[in-house]
C-alpha cells in the first residue's frame, strides 16, 4: 500500500486506556504501518504524517521480523529486514536544539503470540566479529513461539529440546524509538546511539515519558520493535518479539537541549548511556544523571555525584547490539525540591 493513501486521520478515537482530561481533548493522529510503508533506518525520509505539539499518535508497529515468522517451519530466510520502523513523523515546530517529549500513554501487544530466536551475530555469549574466536561454530538458527494469554497477562516459554514450559508476566515496551540523527546521517534500525534507536529499554513503557534530542527540522520520529517481555541484557539477541499498538502524546520543549535520551515518571529520573565498552556506557549514563540533578534540582555536580554513589541504580538493558545500553536512575524522593 502506498503510504500516501491512508496516513493521516485527525479524529478523536476511543482511547486504548483511560486518559487525563487534557489527553481526551487532544487531536489524535492515526497511522497504520504495513510491510510496504515501514523503514529500516533512523534518518531522512519523507514523513508519513505531521503532528503538532500536544497531539496524540495512535499507531502500530510490526515485530522485529516484519511479522514474517508465524509458525513452526518458518525460517529466518523469510525475514526481509530487521526492526521495521513506523514513521517518520514530522513534528511541526521542532528544531535542532529542542527536546522531543514522548509520553507513553498505552502499549498493547497486537496479537496472541510472540517470537524469540537465535540469529547469527547476535547474543551476549556467542562469538561475533566484535569478539572473534578461532574455530568456534556459530549457533544455528532456532525459533521459539510464545503463546500470549491476555487475560492472565503472561507469555509461555516451551523448550524445544525437552518437555518443559513456564509462564512469566508481560511487560510491553518499545525496543526501538528515536529520531533522525544529526548531519543528515542515517543509522540502521539495529543501532542505538545519541538519537535513541534500538535501545531495548524496558523503561520505554506505559506511564513513562521519553525525552529525545531534536537533531533535524521536524525531529523525524520513529518507533518499532515491540517487546512483550525481556530479560536484562536481551542476552540471546531477542526478546518476546511482538507487533504493538502504541498511543503516544507528543510535545516539544523549545530551546532545551539534551545530549542523550532521558526518561522520567512521577517517582524516578532515568538517563541512558549508549556505547561500547559497557563501562563507557555506564560513565555516560551516570554523568548525564549528575548533569540533570545539578541543572534541575540545584545540587552541585560533586554533591550529585556523591548522592548517586549512594542511591542511584544501574540497569543493563542490552549488550547484543553494536552499542550497549545502560540506564542510570535515581528516585526523586532523595532529591531536593525541583528548581527548574
- Measured CA to CA, the distance from residue 126 to residue 124 in angstroms comes to 6
Q: What is the mean pLDDT of residues 230-250?
A: 96
The fraction of the chain above a pLDDT of 90, given in percent, is 84
265-307 pLDDT tens trace: 999 999 999 999 999 999 999 999 999 999 999 999 999 999 9
Q: Please report the pLDDT score of residue 270 as a whole number.
A: 98
| Beta-bridge mates of residue 270 | 263, 329
Q: Please report the pLDDT score of residue 19 as a whole number.
A: 56
Q: Please report the pLDDT score of residue 21 as a whole number.
A: 62
Is the pLDDT at 114 greater than 80? The verdict is: yes
Is the pLDDT at 142 greater than 50? The verdict is: yes
Q: Please report the pLDDT score of residue 124 as a whole number.
A: 77
- How many CA atoms lie less than 13 Å away from 318 in the CB half-sphere? 27
Q: What are the structural domain ranges in the chain?
A: 3-116+168-253, 266-334
Neighbours of 20 (CB within 10 A): 11
147-159 pLDDT tens trace: 999 999 999 999 9
**3-state SS assignment for residue 116:** strand
177-213 pLDDT tens trace: 999 999 999 999 999 999 999 999 999 999 999 999 9
Q: What are phi and psi of 309, to 5 degrees?
A: -65, -20
- Measured CA to CA, the distance from residue 296 to residue 299 in angstroms comes to 8
Q: Please report the pLDDT score of residue 1 as a whole number.
A: 40
CATH no., domain 266-334 = 3.10.28.20
CATH no., domain 3-116+168-253 = 2.60.120.580
| Beta-bridge mates of residue 156 | 167
10-22 pLDDT tens trace: 333 334 444 566 6
Sorting pLDDT into bands at 50, 70 and 90, what band is 7? very low
**3-state SS assignment for residue 292:** helix
Sorting pLDDT into bands at 50, 70 and 90, what band is 132? confident
Is the pLDDT at 222 greater than 90? The verdict is: yes
Q: Supply the DSSP string of 13-82, one letter for each residue.
A: ---SS---HHHHHS-EEEE---TTT-BSEES----SEEE-TT-EEEEEE--TTTT---STT--GGG--SS
Q: What is the mean pLDDT of residues 244-253?
A: 98
Is the pLDDT at 23 greater than 90? The verdict is: no
Q: What are phi and psi of 19, to 5 degrees?
A: -120, 165
Q: Please report the pLDDT score of residue 141 as a whole number.
A: 85
Amino acid at each position: 500500500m502506498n503510504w500516501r493513501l491512508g496516513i493521516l486521520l485527525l479524529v478523536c478515537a476511543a482511547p486504548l486506556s483511560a486518559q487525563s482530561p487534557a489527553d481526551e481533548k487532544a487531536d489524535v493522529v492515526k497511522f497504520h504501518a504495513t510491510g510496504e510503508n515501514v523503514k529500516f533506518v533512523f534518518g531522512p525520509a519523507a514523513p508519513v504524517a505531521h503532528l503538532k505539539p500536544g497531539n496524540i499518535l495512535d499507531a502500530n508497529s510490526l515485530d522485529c521480523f516484519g511479522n514474517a515468522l508465524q509458525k513452526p517451519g518458518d525460517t529466518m530466510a523469510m525475514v526481509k529486514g530487521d526492526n521495521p520502523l513506523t514513521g517518520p513523523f514530522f513534528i511541526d515546530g521542532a528544531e535542532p536544539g529542542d527536546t522531543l517529549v514522548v509520553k507513553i500513554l498505552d502499549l498493547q501487544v497486537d496479537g496472541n503470540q510472540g517470537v524469540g530466536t537465535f540469529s547469527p551475530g547476535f547474543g551476549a555469549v556467542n562469538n561475533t566479529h566484535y569478539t572473534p574466536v578461532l574455530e568456534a561454530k556459530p549457533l544455528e538458527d532456532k525459533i521459539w513461539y510464545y503463546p500470549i494469554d491476555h487475560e492472565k497477562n503472561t507469555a509461555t516459554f516451551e523448550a524445544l529440546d525437552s518437555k518443559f514450559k513456564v509462564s512469566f508476566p508481560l511487560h510491553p515496551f518499545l525496543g526501538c524509538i528515536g529520531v533522525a540523527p544529526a548531519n543528515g546521517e542515517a543509522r540502521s534500525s539495529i543501532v542505538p546511539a545519541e538519537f535513541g534507536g534500538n535501545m531495548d529499554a524496558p523503561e520505554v513503557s506505559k506511564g513513562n515519558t521519553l525525552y529525545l534530542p531534536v537533531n533535524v527540522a521536524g525531529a523525524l520520529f520513529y518507533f518499532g520493535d515491540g517487546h512483550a517481555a525481556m530479560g536484562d541484557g536481551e542476552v540471546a539477541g531477542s526478546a518476546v518479539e511482538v507487533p504493538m499498538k502504541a498511543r503516544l502524546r507528543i510535545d516539544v520543549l523549545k530551546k532545551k537541549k539534551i545530549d542523550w535520551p532521558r526518561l522520567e515518571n512521577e517517582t524516578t529520573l532515568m538517563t541512558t548511556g549508549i556505547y561500547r565498552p559497557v563501562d563507557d556506557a555506564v560513565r555516560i549514563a551516570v554523568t548525564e544523571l549528575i548533569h540533570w540533578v545539578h541543572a534541575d534540582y540545584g545540587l552541585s555536580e560533586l554533591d550529585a555525584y556523591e548522592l548517586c554513589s549512594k542511591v542511584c541504580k544501574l540497569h543493563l538493558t542490552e549488550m547484543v547490539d553494536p552499542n550497549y545500553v545502560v540506564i542510570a536512575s535515581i528516585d526523586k524522593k532523595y532529591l531536593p525540591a525541583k528548581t527548574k
